[in-house]
Amino acid sequence: MRRRLLVIGGDAAGMSAASQARRRRTPDELEIVAFERGNYTSYSACGIPYLVGGEVTEVDDLVARSPEVFRAKHAIEARMRHEVEEIDLARGAVLVRDLERGATSWEGYDDLMIATGAVPRRPELPGSDAPGIFGVQVLDDGVAVREAVLAGAKRAVVIGGGYIGVEMAEAMVRRGLDVTLVDRGPEVMSTLDPDMGALVREALCGMGIDIHTSCAVEGFATADGKVTAVVCEDGEFPADLVVLGLGVRPNSDLAAAAGVPVGVTGGIPTDLRQHAYADAVWAAGDCVETYHLVARRPVAIALGTHANKQGRVAGINLGGGYATFPGVVGTAVSKVCDFEIARTGLKEVEATRAGFEFLTVVVESTTRAGYYPGTTAITVKVIAERRSGRLLGAQIVGREGAAKRIDVFAAALWNEMDVHAMLNMDLSYAPPFSPVWDPVLIAARKAWEAVEADVVRSGPD
């Protein structure tokens, strides 16, 4: 008997799930319909800053598969500009609105895949709904910001110094705008420890971005129905456009309204197979919460890497196979101008929250052999558990060749290695790529020395 799979959300998680299910079930066995309220499917949201900044010139360059490709080559009906407004779990149906025509209809399902993504955090402040204030989460958002920039904007204010904030600030500097970035925290890049975030702030200031940290936004000034300034404790910052870089939250409202449980992070809890609720409801991507393998607790981390993997797992299971998603260690990289930023595992405050006692080391090294042309500085920070020396986290800030070294730390975390085991890892060496002692190995060695010294000082257990 032919089954029907409905997918809510047409980006990474949703369409990965649909594609994997299709690989295992023919159109005669499984009908697949995906509803997407925007204009694009399977796009790279991580590429939005580069579209705004001009490195990517065409919107379609960020689209991996169009709705037409899904229909013609994969027999997946991708209905664009269709928004699911309600889920009726008892009926096994969803209420869908065609945003172009305004018509609504109930669509039944045998299985439901929820991949509603995340939504930008928007401050509840005076004037926050004014035109010219943009959240940046989906490709349509990026197109809107680019249009505002190309329409003649001269001054931009970015609120929040996380990944999207600093990347959008750089993008608008590249376009020639005067850019101010405000953040209520002590440093930008709160995903790093403040000492590492300070290195990022220095890089941003070097690009001409006006940085204001420990600065809370109080509201927005408007004129003629448009935003004209961001009002902060430090004064008003004029703006032709404002980008919200305050992070995102799981877009779980639709699921919660239907009675699907929501976890402590605001995301939808799932089991290892991405099954969410009852027999028919599955979920993946930025709308779910997942398990942090180091902190041993639920987290909600909005990254395309996780969304694609979780969608793949859900789709395999929906297609009759078997797959699991074990969790994450919190690995992420970013770039600001020629500065590369990376992290994995826990930062200091997260390690404390998880109940660990730990030691930290910060190592200055170079990305290549010191005598080789083009070598640049790299700063590596390692967090290790006291006594055991177990790796808990790492952070890197440097120039070309720095960031991807975080993957060595991520692999070590995944396998629960201690820093002593890391310091003898057989990493590659040649002068164009690293010193004979790679910065990863130097940091691991210094961390193990700190662990040994701590044991000597404090004595045996």
Return the active site residues: 46
| Cα(350)–Cα(377) distance, integer angstroms | 27
| Cα(59)–Cα(292) distance, integer angstroms | 34
Of 221, 235, 310, 300, the residue nearest 268 (C-alpha): 300
Strands 226-232 and 235-238: antiparallel
Which DSSP category does 6 fall into?
Answer: E
| Cα(235)–Cα(217) distance, integer angstroms | 10
| Cα(34)–Cα(10) distance, integer angstroms | 6
Find how far residue 170's CA is from the centre of its chain: 18
Helical segments of 57-96, H only: 67-74
Sign of the torsion formed by the C-alpha atoms of 277, 281, 285 and 286: negative
Are 240 and 224 in contact by the 8 Å Cβ rule? The answer is no
| Cα(95)–Cα(185) distance, integer angstroms | 41
How far from 328 is each of 162, 289, 305, CA to CA, in Å?
19, 11, 10
